[in-house]
Chains A and B, each alone.
Chain A
Amino acid sequence: MKNLVWIVSYPKSGNTWFRLFLSNYKKNAIKPIQLRTIESASIASSGTDFEFQIGLDPSEMTGEEVDLYRPEMYCALSEKAKQKGEICYKKAHDAYIINNDGEPIFPEKISKYAVYFVRNPMDVCVSFSNHNAEELDKTIHFLLDEKSFLPGQKAGQLRQKLLSWKSHVQSWKNQTLIPVHFVRYEDMIRKPMETFGSIITFLELEYDEKRLERAIINSDFKLLQQMEEENGFKEKTQLCQHFFWKGKIGNYRDYLSKDQIDRIVEYNYDTMKEFGYIDESGALTV
């Protein structure tokens, strides 16, 4: 039985927001679920999970070696969830990667669905730059680099190959083995009932409009900011002040220069157009 659902995105594209929504929806919570108790979709690149399931220390292996074992790790997690009769949700920032055995690291045989969150790459850039407390130019380079990856080893995570922003999106779009539902971050803000509702339907979860409305309110961005302010959030990095920073559409306009915008648009033009960030006339829509 396929029982693993991948919650996929480039970093800072609404993945954690959705996980909080999902926690609230699944629990049908009356009051908002606190950030520290978020249970849905822990990250697929956890070094601790790898070490436990595979019995090897991933920090003493190369990223390529680790990728050989990742299908097996996810099969073990799927088996564990199956014994409890559960669907296992996993957050992932990896592109759809094929390992050196020629196998996708996300195995078809246990993968039920994937939900892919796509966000305007210029807003991703400023948010990711804030998250890492890094210069914007360095983040732009990351988003345009076909060899971009998040490091493993000392970070307690597995190495995650992200590739460029456009190749990340296309890698998941072009694969045919896992059914994927693409969701735009901007639609989560502009038309939440329709957008979150479409994910609930896609995932074959019981659709209940009142429950949906409540879960959206309980995971409202402003509320998440408030909860982070009061109790902190473990997924924030030490140098970044807020994980839930601004979250607004078109935030890049306050931060990126024309040259920086041009570089991102030029490199990602076709994919941005495909997802509605550039209209038919070639103008930016956000």
Chain B
Amino acid sequence: MFQDYPLNDVLIENCKGQVQHVSLPILSRPHLEIGEREFYIDIRNTAKYFVEDGSKITVQLYENTDDDSVMLFLNGSVLGAVLHQKKMLSFHGSAFCMNGKGILVCGSSGSGKSSVTAAFCQQEGATFISDDITPITIEDSTVKLVPLKTKLKLWEDSLQKLNIVRSKDIRRIRPTLEKYTIPYPNSSHEHQLDHLIVLGVHNQSAYQSFNIQGIEKYNILRNQIYRKSFLNGMPETEKYYFKQLLAIASNIKVTFILRPQICDIYGTAKFIKEKIDL
């Protein structure tokens, strides 16, 4: 079940008994415990996961769970915890490369970051890098997007709007949801990150864009960290990210784009293309 995990250096084991809890959690909730090097989460009716040192995940399955659901959370929040433990700063966004430029589209769930990434891959020949979670590295002031072997996820209505025909390769992410994985090949190497877009939604009929400068850039980048709330239990990691965020803020462009609630996905892609001179 675990052979397609996005990180090759992480050992994943099924646990027959009870999965371990975090020994000294800094953040503790009924379903969630977080310390600097340990993480526990209970996804009801699916699985309990314990992550240690960014290198090992132990999984305790619930009865009657399904593989797709187990993998979905393993590739989502649990992956976010692994990346934090590895001190790999990751953003809540989808990334692609087009005309030699690395673009990262961030935003809340439902803002359309996956759809717009798919539109660039479908119509503009962009190279898909990652969906939903995108780790970043910084080398000599160059900010790079690290490709993860994640699959692009789209709702059924987005498939239709993008004219993507449902074939046998396009699978539901979970049996209970009308959301599907699209098997775009991931880029095999790192790309320089040139422009980060934060995509939001508003109730106007026109698009709007704002280029972000100064300290606001840092604040906006900080808000895009994938599973930022986990850092409430990882103060050392949060401190480590602070310097990285400052370095990223001074080396990339950041644009905030508001799209209408009701709009055409290709129209959004076109607006982005024009605004960031892609």
From A57, A59, A69, A239, residue with most partner B Cβ within 10 Å: A57
| Other-chain residue from B29, B45, B202, B260 in contact with A234 (beta carbon distance below 8 A) | B202
Residues of B within 8 A of A60 (CB): 72, 76, 173-174, 177, 179
From A54, A55, A153, A155, residue with most partner B Cβ within 10 Å: A55
Residues of A within 8 A of B95 (CB): none
A72-B30 CB under 8 A given contacts A55-B230, A62-B177, A238-B203: yes
Q: Is there an interface contact between A76 and B29, defined as CB atoms closer than 8 Å? A: yes
Q: Is there an interface contact between B177 and A154, defined as CB atoms closer than 8 Å? A: no
A154-B155 CB under 8 A given contacts A47-B108, A237-B203, A239-B262: yes
From B72, B108, B202, B230, residue with most partner A Cβ within 10 Å: B108
Residue B168 lies at the interface, judged by CB distance under 8 Å to chain A: no
A232-B204 CB under 8 A given contacts A60-B174, A60-B179, A154-B155: yes
Residues of B within 8 A of A276 (CB): none
Residue A65 lies at the interface, judged by CB distance under 8 Å to chain B: yes
Q: Is there an interface contact between A48 and B29, defined as CB atoms closer than 8 Å? A: no
Residue A250 lies at the interface, judged by CB distance under 8 Å to chain B: no
Number of contact residues on B: which range applies? 35 or more
A142 and B54 CA atoms in complex are apart in Å by 48
A234 and B258 CA atoms in complex are apart in Å by 12
Q: Is there an interface contact between A238 and B44, defined as CB atoms closer than 8 Å? A: no
Output the least CB separation between B265 and chain A (Å): 13
Q: Is there an interface contact between B262 and A238, defined as CB atoms closer than 8 Å? A: yes
Binary interface encoding of chain B residues 231-260 relative to chain A, with 1 for a CB under 8 A from any of its CBs, else 0: 000000000000000000000000000001
Residue A28 lies at the interface, judged by CB distance under 8 Å to chain B: no
Q: Is there an interface contact between A47 and B261, defined as CB atoms closer than 8 Å? A: no
| Other-chain residue from B111, B157, B174, B205 in contact with A238 (beta carbon distance below 8 A) | B205
Residue A14 lies at the interface, judged by CB distance under 8 Å to chain B: no
Chain A count of residues within 8 A CB distance of the other chain: 28
Residue B41 lies at the interface, judged by CB distance under 8 Å to chain A: yes
Residue A236 lies at the interface, judged by CB distance under 8 Å to chain B: yes
Residue A29 lies at the interface, judged by CB distance under 8 Å to chain B: no
Residue A68 lies at the interface, judged by CB distance under 8 Å to chain B: yes
A62-B176 CB under 8 A given contacts A234-B202, A236-B203, A238-B261: yes
Output the least CB separation between B72 and chain A (Å): 6
Output the least CB separation between A143 and chain B (Å): 23
A155 and B44 CA atoms in complex are apart in Å by 23
A60 and B178 CA atoms in complex are apart in Å by 10
A239 and B45 CA atoms in complex are apart in Å by 39
A206 and B45 CA atoms in complex are apart in Å by 46
Q: Is there an interface contact between B45 and A69, defined as CB atoms closer than 8 Å? A: no
Question: In B74-116, which residues have CB < 8 Å from any A CB?
Answer: 76-77, 80, 108-111
Question: In B7-63, which residues have CB < 8 Å from any A CB?
Answer: 29-32, 41, 43-45
A55-B260 CB under 8 A given contacts A48-B108, A62-B176, A154-B110: no
| Other-chain residue from A47, A68, A72 in contact with B109 (beta carbon distance below 8 A) | A47
Residue A58 lies at the interface, judged by CB distance under 8 Å to chain B: yes
A238 and B174 CA atoms in complex are apart in Å by 31
Binary interface encoding of chain A residues 26-69 relative to chain B, with 1 for a CB under 8 A from any of its CBs, else 0: 00000000000000000000011001111111111010010011
Q: Is there an interface contact between A156 and B201, defined as CB atoms closer than 8 Å? A: yes
Considering only CB atoms, which chain A residue lies closest to B72 in the complex?
A60
Residues of B within 8 A of A68 (CB): 44
Q: Is there an interface contact between A52 and B229, defined as CB atoms closer than 8 Å? A: yes
* Subset of 16 A-B contacts with CB under 8 Å: A51-B109, A52-B228, A53-B229, A54-B29, A56-B76, A57-B109, A62-B177, A65-B44, A69-B31, A153-B110, A153-B177, A154-B110, A155-B110, A156-B109, A156-B110, A237-B261
Given contacts A55-B41, A76-B29, A238-B260, list 10 more A-B pairs with CB under 8 A: A48-B109, A54-B29, A54-B32, A55-B230, A56-B43, A57-B77, A59-B110, A60-B174, A72-B29, A154-B157
